[in-house]
Amino acid sequence: MDRRIAPSARIEEVIERVLLDELDDPDALSRLGRLGAQLIFQRAVEDELEVFLGRARYARTSEASGSRNGHRPRRIQTAEGELTIAMPQVRGSLERFVSSIIPDTRAIVRTRPLEALVIGAYVRGLSDRDIESLAREAGLGQISRTTVSTICRELRDRYRAFRAKSLADVRLLALMLDAIYLPVRPDGPKEGVLVAWGFTVDGERVLLDVSLGQRERVEDWLDLGRGLISRGLRSPLLVVADGAAGLIRAIGELWPDADRQRCAVHRLRNVLAKLPKRPALHERVRAAYWVALHGAPSQAEAETALRTLVGELSREHPSAAACLADDLVALTVHLAYPLRLRRRLRSTNLLERSLEEVRRRTKVIGRFPGETSCLTLAWAVMDLVIAGGHGLGLTLPERHEIAVLVAARSVPETAERIA
């Protein structure tokens, strides 16, 4: 092991490997949490040592007191389990180096409040003051302001760079749009955080934007879409979204030449919610619904099967029938795409699961100190769950089918229409 490399840098390398190679592992997020907690402690101890010695690693100064003399492993018990921290040793100093971050006892260090900070260590967007407060509540003592500032600055800089990145080279097969409501500010109602991601024509997953939407109005979605287009994003072949009126209207204005797929999972939930709570009835309707979408070889036949189900429901459950009939054609659009990809392109389920991961983690925080913190957190989680996963894994015939769709579409640039 190269002793010239700081222990925190080694932990960062492990985190990067997990982010690149292991996110499909069901235990990956848990492991990232542990690694993140370990990195928070390790960085804090290293910062303490810099203050104690009066110089940074490899820096020289006449005012320095003592020098580094390797590390010894120290096990600590936390809410994430047992962690090993490389405790620095010092020689040539009149005083003994003692960490105020990690106590010289076997007491459990309470890190659960720091769950808001540890998706891969530097994946939180809280204010400096908020991180310091959480650190104190967790029993970590006073983490140096340098450590807090570095973590926050890295996060905010990465989020700003993400939102400024050119999308000119991105060619989308499908664009997925959805929103989540979060307590963005210390007081006031929850506000919408809008998320856009998609599959490229090469089958890769790409996160495109995470922005504030307030009440998810048409204007909010238009702002998001115009931002994507101003960064160079061309019209996707397909846009997948739920049935929010403002969102549907915005899609029509932003990408008039794209196909629009109504999220099939959202629509089924809407229909079932209007039926009596009878399990047998729900199961029968659910089965007929998916048979219509799974078994039909074409959009026309799927539409016919769904309209048959509408007719059956209308006799006893007119509200459910009306719900299914509304925007029915948009439920079948995915059937014009390669067979194996249809289930992936008919709903925003993956995006929804990612947003639920955001919601789960924000429960630890309660309310955010402001929109920057909230958006940075949401972006960090989405970046891990979506951008870090596997894509469609397109076969050569599927790539050919998609290329034919792209060539046939000849979509004109929509940027000129809405600029």
- Do 93 and 203 lie in one domain? The reply is no
Between 360 and 165, whose confidence is greater? 165
Between 365 and 188, whose confidence is greater? 188
Q: Give the C-alpha separation, 221 to 194, whole Å.
A: 8
The helix or strand, by DSSP H or E, that contains position 267, with its residue range, turns out to be helix 264-273
> Among 145, 134, 131, 159, which Cα is nearest to 377's?
159
Residue 1 lies in a domain: no
Per-residue pLDDT tens digits for 76-129: 776 556 788 888 888 877 777 777 667 665 544 444 333 334 333 333 334 455
- Do 151 and 94 lie in one domain? The reply is yes
Q: Give me the mean pLDDT over the 128-152 stretch.
A: 54
**Exposed/middle/buried for 285, CB within 10 Å: 0-12, 13-18, 19+?**
buried
DSSP track, 72-110: EEEEEEETTEEEEEEEEEEES-SS----SSS-SS-PPB-
Domain boundary residue, one of 129, 161, 193: 161
- Do 329 and 357 lie in one domain? The reply is no
Between 69 and 235, whose confidence is greater? 235
Q: What is the pLDDT of residue 271?
A: 94
Phi, psi for 259 (deg, rounded to 5): -70, 150
Residue 70 lies in a domain: yes
Question: Predicted confidence band at 174 (pLDDT cuts at 50, 70, 90)?
Answer: very high
Q: Give the C-alpha separation, 414 to 286, whole Å.
A: 38
- Do 311 and 242 lie in one domain? The reply is no
Domain boundary residue, one of 346, 373, 400: 346
Q: What is the pLDDT of residue 123?
A: 36
Does the pLDDT of residue 138 top 80, yes or no? no
Residue 419 lies in a domain: yes
Task: Record the tokens describing residue 125, joined without a space.
Answer: 């967007």
Q: What is the pLDDT of residue 153?
A: 66
- Do 280 and 208 lie in one domain? The reply is no
Q: What are the Cα distances from residue 127, in Å, to 131, 163, 408?
A: 6, 19, 49
Does the pLDDT of residue 297 top 60, yes or no? yes
Average the pLDDT over each of 71-75, 312-316, 364-368 and give the range with the smallest value. Answer: 364-368
- Do 92 and 221 lie in one domain? The reply is no
Q: Give me the mean pLDDT over the 411-415 stretch.
A: 48
Q: What is the pLDDT of residue 145?
A: 57
Residue 40 lies in a domain: yes
Q: What is the pLDDT of residue 337?
A: 93
> Helix H segments across 275-385?
279-295, 299-314, 318-325, 342-345, 349-362, 371-382
Per-residue pLDDT tens digits for 360-403: 655 655 677 778 777 877 787 777 666 556 688 899 999 999 99
The CA-based angle 244-247-250, given to 5 degrees, is 150
- Do 157 and 174 lie in one domain? The reply is no
- Do 188 and 105 lie in one domain? The reply is no
Does the pLDDT of residue 44 top 80, yes or no? no
Q: What is the pLDDT of residue 288?
A: 92
Per-residue pLDDT tens digits for 247-264: 999 999 999 999 999 999
- Do 173 and 24 lie in one domain? The reply is no
Question: Predicted confidence band at 416 (pLDDT cuts at 50, 70, 90)?
Answer: very low
- Do 138 and 74 lie in one domain? The reply is yes
Between 251 and 57, whose confidence is greater? 251
For the chain, the domain total comes to 3
Mean pLDDT (the chain) is 78
Q: What is the CATH number of the domain that holds 364?
A: 3.30.420
Q: What is the pLDDT of residue 183?
A: 78
In sequence order, which residues have a C-beta less than 8 Å from that of residue 115 and are 6 or more positions away?
A: 33, 79, 361, 364
Give me the percent of the chain exceeding a pLDDT of 90.
Answer: 34
Question: Predicted confidence band at 324 (pLDDT cuts at 50, 70, 90)?
Answer: very high
Q: Give me the mean pLDDT over the 207-218 stretch.
A: 86
Residue 2 lies in a domain: no
pLDDT winner (highest mean) among 148-152, 279-283, 296-300: 279-283
Q: What is the pLDDT of residue 303?
A: 93
Q: For residue 74, what are the domain limits?
A: 7-161
Identity of residue 389: G
Q: What is the pLDDT of residue 90?
A: 86
- Do 60 and 16 lie in one domain? The reply is yes
- Do 38 and 183 lie in one domain? The reply is no
Angle between helices 145-164 and 28-53 (to 10 degrees): 130
Contact (Cβ atoms closer than 8 angstroms) between residue 382 and residue 354: yes
Q: What are the Cα distances from residue 324, in Å, to 270, 294, 352?
A: 8, 17, 21
Q: Give the C-alpha separation, 276 to 38, whole Å.
A: 51
Domain boundary residue, one of 161, 192, 224: 161
In sequence order, which residues have a C-beta less than 8 Å from that of residue 284 and are 6 or more positions away?
A: none
Q: Give the C-alpha separation, 49 to 64, whole Å.
A: 11
Q: What is the pLDDT of residue 143?
A: 54
Q: Give me the mean pLDDT over the 21-47 stretch.
A: 69
| Structural Rg of the chain based on CA atoms | 26
